[in-house]
């Protein structure tokens, strides 16, 4: 079965750029979504179709996907961005796969 690999944790200083990666075999051949989940809350879609932002998501969130790696980039990271982030892709367009999640710490 298809697997997506994320680093367990990423740390960033306020105002700096955070990059969270998601790796999978030929991941660039499909589309990737990213979800943000804060403690005790439901996940929120922050990026879909590799680089599109839903309405209401700040411009500091951006995405890219090429080769075997997709990346979520948060520019000018704020304390409110501290959360768990999950990447998600489709396996053969029929099955959904999530990464293991990355805990973003803003310190």
Partner 1 sequence: QITLKESGPTLVKPTQTLTLTCTFSGFSLSTSGVGVGWIRQPPGKALEWLALIYWDDTKRYSPSLKGSLTITKDTSKSQVVLTMTNMDPVDTATYYCVHISYSSGSKSYFDYWGQGTLVTVSS
Q: How far apart are CA 43 and CA 63, in angstroms?
A: 17
Site for partner 1, residues 16 to 75, rule: CB under 8 A? 30-31, 33, 35, 42-45, 48-49, 54
Rounded to the nearest whole angstrom, what is the least distance from the CB of residue 15 to partner 1 in the complex?
A: 29
Separation of alpha carbons 14 and 7, rounded Å:
20
Q: How far is the CB of 14 from partner 1 (least distance, A)?
A: 26
Out of 93, 104, 106, 107, which residue is the one contacting partner 1 (CB under 8 A)? 93
Alpha-carbon distance of 43 to 12, in angstroms, equals 21
In b/e form, how buried is each residue of 21-37, taking b as 16+ CB within 10 angstroms? bbbbeebeebbbbbbbe
60/103 with CB nearer partner 1: 103
Return the residue of 15, 66, 100, 105 that touches partner 1, per CB under 8 A: 100
Residues making contact with partner 1 (CB under 8 A) = 1, 30-31, 33, 35, 42-45, 48-49, 54, 86, 88-90, 93-101
């Amino acid at each position: 079965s298809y697997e997506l690999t994320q680093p367990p944790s990423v740390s960033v200083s306020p105002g700096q750029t955070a990059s969270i990666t998601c790796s999978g075999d030929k991941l660039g051949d499909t589309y990737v979504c990213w979800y943000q989940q804060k403690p005790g809350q439901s996940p929120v879609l922050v990026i879909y179709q590799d680089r599109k932002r839903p309405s209401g998501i700040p411009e500091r969130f951006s995405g890219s996907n090429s080769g075997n790696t997709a990346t979520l980039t948060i520019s000018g990271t704020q304390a409110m961005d501290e959360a768990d982030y999950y990447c998600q892709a489709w396996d053969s367009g029929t099955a959904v796969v999530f990464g293991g999640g990355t805990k973003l710490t803003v310190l």
